[in-house]
Amino acid sequence: MTEGGKITVSCVLNGAKTDLCGEAAQPASEALRREGLFGVRETCSLGVCGTCTVLLDGEPVSACILPFYALEGSEVRTVEGLESGGRLSALQQQFIESQAFQCSFCTPGFLLSAAALLDSTEGALTDEQVEEGLQGHLCRCGCYETVKEAVRAVAARRHGQDAGRGAR
Amino acid sequence: MSQPLVFFPTTVAEAVEVLDRYGGEAKVVAGGTAVSLMLQHRLIQPAALVSLQRVDGLREVGRTEEGTAVRLGALVTHAEAARHPFLRSAAPLVADAFAVVGNPQVRAAATVGGVLTEADYASDPPAALRAIDAVVIAQGPAGARIIPVYDLLLGFYETALADNEIVSSVVVPLLPEGAGSAYLKYSSRSSEDRPCVGVAAVVRQAPDGSCAEVRVVLGAIAAVPVRVPELEAAAVGRPLDPAGLGDAYAEAVDPLEDVRGSAWYRREMVRVWVARAVTAARHRCTGGPQPPPAG
Ligand SMILES: Cc1cc2nc3c(=O)[nH]c(=O)nc-3n(C[C@H](O)[C@H](O)[C@H](O)COP(=O)(O)OP(=O)(O)OC[C@H]3O[C@@H](n4cnc5c(N)ncnc54)[C@H](O)[C@@H]3O)c2cc1C
Ligand code: FES
Ligand code: FES
CB distance A100 to A130 below 8 Å: no
The domain ranges of chain A are: 3-78, 90-157
Distance from CA of A165 to the nearest CA of B (A): 30
Cβ burial of B229 (10 Å; 0-12, 13-18, 19+) is exposed
Fold classified for A90-157: DNA polymerase; domain 1 (1.10.150)
Is the CB of A93 inside 8 Å of chain B's CB atoms? no
CB distance B65 to B81 below 8 Å: no
- The radius of gyration of chain B's CA atoms, rounded to the nearest angstrom, is 19
Q: Do residues B191 and B266 share a domain? A: yes
Dihedral in degrees, nearest 10, Cα atoms A67, A31, B7, B53: 50
Tell me whether residue B114 is in a domain.
yes
Tell me whether residue B293 is in a domain.
no
DSSP state of B198: E
Q: Do residues B67 and B9 share a domain? A: no
Domain end among B131, B152, B173: B173
Architecture per CATH, domain A3-78, reads as: Roll (3.10)
Edge-to-edge order in the sheet of strand A53-56:
A16-23, A6-13, A75-77, A53-56, A59-62
- Taking the C-alpha atoms of residue A12 and residue A66, their distance in angstroms, rounded to an integer, is 17
Which residue has the CA at smallest separation from atom 3 of ligand 2?
Answer: A47
Tell me which chain B residue has its CA closest to the CA of residue A61. Answer: B105
Taking alpha carbons only, the member of B108, B124, B107 closest to residue B116 is B124
Is the CB of B43 inside 8 Å of chain A's CB atoms? no
Q: Do B39 and A25 count as a contact with CB atoms less than 8 A apart?
A: yes
Per-residue pLDDT of chain B (295 residues; tens, 9 = 90+): 578 999 999 999 999 999 999 999 999 999 999 999 999 988 999 999 999 999 999 999 999 988 899 999 999 999 999 999 999 999 999 999 999 999 999 999 999 999 999 999 999 999 999 999 999 999 999 999 999 999 999 999 999 999 999 999 999 999 988 999 999 999 999 888 999 999 999 999 999 989 999 999 999 999 999 999 999 999 999 999 999 999 999 999 999 999 999 999 999 999 999 999 999 999 999 865 555 554 4
Domain of residue B269 covers 179-285
Q: Do residues B169 and B201 share a domain? A: no
User: In chain B, positions 52-71, which contact chain A (CB-CB < 8 Å)?
Assistant: 53
DSSP per-residue codes, B12-43? HHHHHHHHHHHTTSEEEESS-HHHHHHHHTTS
Atom number in ligand 2 closest to CA A64: 2
Q: What is the CATH number of the domain that holds B229?
A: 3.30.390.50
Q: What is the ipTM of this complex?
A: 0.93
- Taking the C-alpha atoms of residue A138 and residue B112, their distance in angstroms, rounded to an integer, is 26
Q: Do residues B169 and B198 share a domain? A: no
Q: Do B109 and A66 count as a contact with CB atoms less than 8 A apart?
A: yes
Domain end among B146, B173, B200: B173
SS3 B137: strand
Q: Global pTM?
A: 0.95
Mutation site, B103, B193, B194, interface A, largest A CB count within 10 A: B103
